[in-house]
Amino acid sequence: MSGHETPTGQGSQEDHLDSKSLITRDMIKRCLEADKGKDATLKSFRVDNLTKLGDNYLGVLKSVSVQYHHHGEDFNVKYVAKVNPRRPKMTKITSELFMKEIGFYKEVGPALNQQLQNVNLPALRIPEVPFVLEEEEIIFMEDLREKGYRMFNRREELDEAHYLLVAKEMARLHAASVLLQKNSKTDLAALYPSLDDPFIKKDIEYQEFIDVFTGLVGTAGQVAKRIDGYEKVSQYLTDYLEPKCMSLWNEMVKGRESFVTINHGDFWNNNILFKYDDGDVPKDLVIVDLQMVQCGTPAYDLNYFLYPSLSETSRQRALGTFLTTYYNAFQEVLLAGEIEMPFSLKDLEKEYRDRNLLGYVTLFMFIPALVRKDGEAFNLDQLGKGSAQDAIKENENDVMQMLADDEVVKRFVDAFDGMIAGGIVELD
């Protein structure tokens, strides 16, 4: 089926792609010329669905296989096209997030990499993006599978080899933004509009989207209500945290004093691809899905990543090593740029702990995705078929059915115990 989109028969996240979002021959020709040069001639192409339900929530990924002729020879190349699915009731949100990601790849990412290049450090580990179509909201990226990168199983805990790679690259992203801030002498959020906070919006569409995710905190409260001994946790989650979730979130992500960096904003397992050696030990990574980048405290990314990635026990055990590794990698970048560290390791740990509630909110948002099997993840398309409350109720019903699985119960109890131990929920 050369030159046409390949049917998959799976529906799901693909259902709401309209005609403007289909990948055409002209789009691929323009991408190829941008990547390989004007004298590259497109011979044929094939487009296949790449993601399963739960792999990518705010975009649809397509695998684009291309055959082309260049300087008398035939070649093959693969791209990944990220397409705005234009879901009903989410058109404005996804369009704005796509423009944020495009802004990162076109402006912010290159500016950060220029700062690293200036001090002889390697570029950030992000995908190469040869071509974007802003009006159609399609981003053509290199196919990292061709270089051996793959997703980690989101249902499994990350081990030390994985999370220390993440600590180093997260720190390099954050530290590069400190270099950029110093050398720009201008507020980065003002300099780059794509760094604005995407969820400080007041219109109905944004509110419905926010309600769905804060509803997951309420669902956690309903879970706590069903488990003996966690009545106070249930009360805290449903009566206090859920209604105030977004105002608390917006306050916690803000930078303060010495803690202001560019954050990925959606730093969890699904947005990290790892490359492995012959012994299946991770040796490299690439960070993807940069549609939520924004300025704020680095503790945002730290909590957002650590809470869904590790159990309560593992996270407490790993925290010292993780933060030390992060701190050293951050310091390495600033030393190369002849800038003093703006905070100590002790200050960093305090900043992280002060924002731990953000970590728990993130965890409750992600537990359903972390425990569901492939093809069973929460489908955002459901938001277009009814109200936000309908979507919340459907998700809550699904989660309640999952409580028959002891591992799911353990995941929630682990979080509830952590909130009690950390003094977030007081039993007396």
Architecture of the structural domain at 108-126+150-421: Alpha-Beta Complex (3.90)
Largest CA distance in the chain: 78
For 124-153, the pLDDT digits (tens) are: 999 999 999 999 999 999 999 999 999 999
**Helices (DSSP H) in 147-241: which residue ranges?**
160-184, 188-191, 204-226, 231-235
Q: What is the pLDDT of residue 259?
A: 96
Question: By mean pLDDT, which of 88-92, 105-109, 330-334 is the weakest?
Answer: 88-92
Per-residue pLDDT, 379: 56
What pLDDT was estimated at residue 94? Answer: 84
- Average model confidence (pLDDT) for the chain? 88
| pLDDT of 14 over the 70 cut | no
Give SS3 for 62: strand
| pLDDT of 399 above 90 | no
pLDDT at 7: 36
Helices 356-371 + 388-402 axis angle, to 10: 70
Express each pLDDT in 277-322 by its tens digit: 999 999 999 999 999 999 999 999 999 999 999 999 999 999 999 9
pLDDT > 90? residue 218: yes
Per-residue pLDDT for 46 more than 60?
Answer: yes
Above 50 in pLDDT, residue 381?
A: yes
pLDDT for residue 186: 85
Rounded CA separation 418/22 (Å)? 46
Reported as type and span, the H/E element at residue 284 is strand 282-287
